[in-house]
Amino acid sequence: MPVRASRGALALGLAMLLAHAAVGAAAATDPAGRRQILLGRSVDGRPIVAVEIGDFDASVRVLVIGCIHGNEPAGIAIANRLSHSRPSPELDLWIVPDLNPDGVAAQTRGNAHGVDLNRNFPWRWQRLSGLFYSGPRRLSEPESRIAARLIRRARPQISIWFHQHMDLVVESGGNPAVERRFAALVGLPLARLTREPGSAVGWENHTLPGTTAFVVELPAGSLPATAVSRYAHAVVAVGR
């Protein structure tokens, strides 16, 4: 039987997010380091965690989602590399290595309900079936609700969502200069694709005007260590 995230676990994660201001006010110097927060659980009860690393009260906040489609997991290696990197001064980096652990375990695009999480966000949501099944309603899935809560609380200026397998950076509706710079740093072309209904980046760019959420389409397969390092360095560079 699927195990759903308890309200207590979600409340704890959000309470820790809201504690930033208090921590910054109490510290004699800028609070910095690394901490992990349980945001909630997937349909089948797997934990979904965020790692915060760097300067906790920095004015620049960057969010990285390593994986949203379970059969597109290459970005998890980049997220894990960032999670264990040396904290960057004046940058508050939030990392969710795997937003869809049930899909990764099953090697499926959707979650355990068969929902494409990247069609389940509220902005221009439509009823879709088949491979791109958008769910019975907006934010019907625990995984997409977890991401939405985190984004509303953390309010990142830049969010990077890793996908596969098109080998390009997608002009996603935020600041094209940020997208262009990331593309140059990793050596990928920048291209505008169809803006899909219910997408995470579409909702985020609509919900947080003036910020930039964009998709990075990694190549097929797993990434070599040199590529993982290159992408991780680019994430930090665009946040500076």
Between CA 162 and CA 83 the distance in angstroms is 15
DSSP code of residue 222: P
Contact of 202 with 172, CB cutoff 8 Å: yes
pLDDT at residue 7, as a whole number: 53
Give, as one character, the DSSP assignment of residue 119: G
Separation between Cα atoms, residue 217 and residue 80, nearest integer Å: 18
| Residues ≥6 apart with Cβ < 8 Å to 16 | 35, 37
**pLDDT tens digit at each of 240 positions of the chain:** 444 444 545 544 544 544 443 333 333 344 678 999 999 999 999 999 999 999 998 989 999 999 999 999 999 999 999 999 987 888 999 999 999 999 999 999 999 999 999 999 999 999 999 999 999 999 999 999 999 999 999 999 999 999 999 999 999 999 999 999 999 999 999 999 989 999 999 999 999 999 999 999 999 999 999 999 999 999 999 998
The C-alpha atoms of residue 65 and residue 79 are separated, in whole angstroms, by 7
Residues pairing with 170 in the sheet: 191
Q: Which token pair is 153?
A: 């609380």
Question: 7-239 — its CATH code?
Answer: 3.40.630.10
CB count within 10 Å of CB 44 equals 17
Query: Which element (helix H / strand E) includes 81?
Result: helix 75-83
What is the C-alpha to C-alpha distance for residues 108 and 112, in angstroms, rounded to an integer? Answer: 9
